[in-house]
Amino acid sequence: MDYILYILLFCIGALFGSFFSLAIYRIPLRQDITHTRSYCPNCNHKLTFLDMIPILSYTFLGGKCRYCKEKIRPRYLLLEVLTGLVFVLFAISVKFSLFNLNAETIVYFVVGTLYIATIFIIAGIDKEKFEIEKPVLLFGFICVALYMMYLYVVEKDPSMYRYVIYLILSCVLLLLSIVYLRKKGRDSYTIDILVLSMLMILYTYETVYIYTVVVTLLAIFIQLLIQKLHSRKSKFVKKVKNENYKIPIGFYMCTANIIILLATNFAIFYR
């Protein structure tokens, strides 16, 4: 029976992945992501149901738009498959099963998938635009805050003070970011990364966050090393240095955080 559950979760994850692609494209453009129908960004033709079936539509259409035949970026397919796999792995990591369902596991799983959704969207936008979107961060904080209220009221969590401290720090950082935005006319990437850090600490705790930072720094070091080697081989060294050394720190942090979260869950629930 659990195999049926995991297949269902993979399909749900793929649906989420399709939505993530839409959100990553539209949120930086300040476009509606809930009421406006999906459309091809090349020919603007509104897509039908058959054009939007996760994984299958991309496969049967040969990775091209049905109407203008423009090639669709493989990242959409990759994101759908990856999200489906992460949802399944997250369920397995917390022993989410039809045979041992309880309120605590269900709540943790639901909040966890919403947290993962937040992290996926933040990572995708930062990878494309090198910016952390505050509305997405706010959604993540709302989800975590509701979960904290549940832990305090239902499970009588004694560590509520740590949540309050991090929430206050997050509010201060967000105010600083807003002030900086009004003063400079642009967001402060550093402050937004710190706010993202607060969100990660709130949900995944300090230990997971520390490992996240370590993996992030390692990934950034590897990218810089690859770029350094590439610049030596390139005839246009100055151009490479000027254009390619912008690092999407948020993307690496989000990717590392999901990996460490899954690994930690496996270690805790299967020890």
- Asked if 55 and 81 touch (Cβ cutoff 8 Å), the reply is yes
Q: In the chain, what are the domain boundaries?
A: 1-85, 102-271
125 pLDDT above the threshold of 80: yes
Question: How many angstroms separate the Cα of 261 from the Cα of each of 10, 48, 97, 128, 172?
Answer: 18, 36, 19, 24, 26
Q: 49 vs 248, which has greater pLDDT?
A: 248
Confidence grade of residue 217 (pLDDT, cut at 50, 70, 90): very high
**Residues near 235 by Cβ (< 8 Å), separated by ≥ 6?**
none
**What pLDDT shows up at residue 245?**
61
Rounded to 10°, the helix 160-184/189-233 angle is 70
Polymer length of the chain: 271
pLDDT tens digits, 131-142 = 999 899 999 999
Q: Distance between CA 204 and CA 270 in Å, rounded?
A: 18
Q: What share of the chain is helix, strand, coil (3-state, %, to 5)?
A: 75, 0, 25
Quote the mean pLDDT of the chain: 87
Mean of the pLDDT values across residues 61-73?
86
Considering only CA atoms, which of 140, 2, 6, 3 is closest in space to residue 84? 6
241 pLDDT above the threshold of 60: no
Q: 152 vs 193, which has greater pLDDT?
A: 193
